Structure 1
Amino acid sequence: MRTFATILAFAASAMAYSVTAPTNATGFSTSGQNTVSWNMVSTDAANFTIVLSNQQVNPPVQQILAALVVGTLGTIQVNPPSTGWPTGSGYQINLVANSQQLSSILAQSDQFSFHAPTSSSGSSSSLPTTSLVVPPTFSGQSTSPSASSPSGSDSSSDLNPSTSDTSVTPQNTNAAASMGVQTAFFGAVALVGALLV
């Protein structure tokens, strides 16, 4: 009977919360957010608190990263503490019952180390190379339309003033002036003729 109870207790503990990330291979980055992942079963507690722990340093580290985490999420991004991420090795992620019971550990990760974000620096260095290549391509395309468009705009601007503004208005003005001069001349001749008679 005692053996059966021991087996049941061992099976229950084996099926409880288990931390799947971080691992010894992946670790945590010293910059930005880090991922904590876990597995759970239906008999596990509905929520827990995530604690960053290191018992190999003096004084020991017990830093709460997230409280009242919903267990069914399976993964969460944790922010660095207000003092920033530490450096070194021997760290673990503990899933504890709540923020008041840090020693009541539900699950514990492998020991891991913090590492510099080498992958993000490599991706950022490749982005400027792409942005430097693009502008010459666009500038080359923009010079050819600009070379053709001014010629088209110049020709259209040359036609518009000559046909509408310059030719029509002065012709009407000259015609009106010549008509006025002729009328005055014939009026004067008629007046002289009347006086002679």
Structure 2
Amino acid sequence: MRSAVALLAFAASAFAYQVSQPSNSSGWSTAGSNVVAWDMVSTDAANFTVLLVNQEVNPPTSQVLAALVDGSLGKTTVNPPSGGWKAGTGFQVNLVKDTNSLTSIYAQSGVFTIAAASTTQSLASTASSGTVLTVSGTTTKSSGSDLNPSASQTSTSPTKSNGASKTGAQAGLFAGLALLGAMLA
């Protein structure tokens, strides 16, 4: 009888909310927003609250990141909590019933790390996900196939340019600044 109950509990958990991101292999960064992704089935609750916990620190911490998240979305972006993200290990994301029921856990991510953002990041990533460039604390983000940093959205106000000849020079300048920043760090 006991094994039948355990088997039913396991089967029920296999068809409920499951957190796919963050995970043990793909954590978060202290730079900006981070993504929570999940899978659900039709019998899951329609919404939930996203709770960030760390049981490996003393005292253990927990912070609500988003309330009343629509479960049918499959993923959501969560903004940094007040005071920003704290770099470290031992973090987990819990999908809980609501802000009044933080111990009613629907799903829990694997343990992950929040990595400190470096002042210099990669100059380019895949064109489909956009390019993010950080030089001395200034973040530039461009969309899709736009690899011209001056024509992108940025926290400063650069002169916009669509000239192809300037793109190479700008990329060289940013590469030089990134190298300088890496050497100073």
When the two structures are superposed, what TM-score results if normalisation uses the length of structure 1?
A: 0.61
Return the alpha-carbon distance in structure 2 between the equivalents of residues 132 and 40 of structure 1. Answer: 46
Instruction: Encode CA deviations 1:138-166: one digit per residue, 9 max, x unaligned.
Output: xxxxxxxxxxxxxxxxxxxxxxxxxxxxx
SS in 2 for 1:68: strand
> What runs of 5+ residues in structure 2 fail to find an aligned partner?
124-132, 136-146, 151-160, 170-185
How many equivalent pairs are there? 136
Report the AA paired with residue 39 of structure 2: N
Instruction: Encode CA deviations 1:91-132: one digit per residue, 9 max, x unaligned.
Output: 00000111111111110001011113459722326847x989
Of residues 128, 134, 145, the one that matches 2:166 is 134
Residues 48-59 of structure 1: pairs in structure 2 closer than 5 A: 48-59=48-59
Deviating above 2 A after TM superposition, structure 1's stretches of 4 or more consecutive aligned residues are 1-10, 116-128, 130-133
- CA gap 1:89/1:3 in 2 versus in 1, 3 angstroms: closer
Higher helix proportion (structure 1 or 2): 1
Return the alpha-carbon distance in structure 1 between the equivalents of residues 168 and 90 of structure 2. Answer: 51
When the two structures are superposed, what TM-score results if normalisation uses the length of structure 2?
A: 0.64
Higher strand proportion (structure 1 or 2): 2
Equivalent position of 2:140 in the other structure: none
Return the alpha-carbon distance in structure 2 between the equivalents of residues 84 and 38 of structure 1. Answer: 23
Equivalent position of 2:10 in the other structure: 10
Equivalent position of 1:45 in the other structure: 45
Give the conservation status (yes or no) of the 8 Å contact 2:32–2:79: yes
Aligned-CA RMSD value? 2.9
Shift of 1:73: 0.5
Task: Work out whether 1:25 is the aligned partner of 2:57.
Answer: no
Shift of 1:78: 0.3
Percent of aligned pairs with the same amino acid: 50
Shift of 1:4: 4.6
Equivalent position of 2:104 in the other structure: 104
- CA gap 1:136/1:6 in 2 versus in 1, 3 angstroms: closer
Return the alpha-carbon distance in structure 2 between the equivalents of residues 68 and 80 of structure 1. Answer: 17
Task: Work out whether 1:71 is the aligned partner of 2:71.
Answer: yes
Give the conservation status (yes or no) of the 8 Å contact 2:51–2:64: yes
Structure scoring higher RCO (CA < 8 A, sep ≥ 6) equals 1
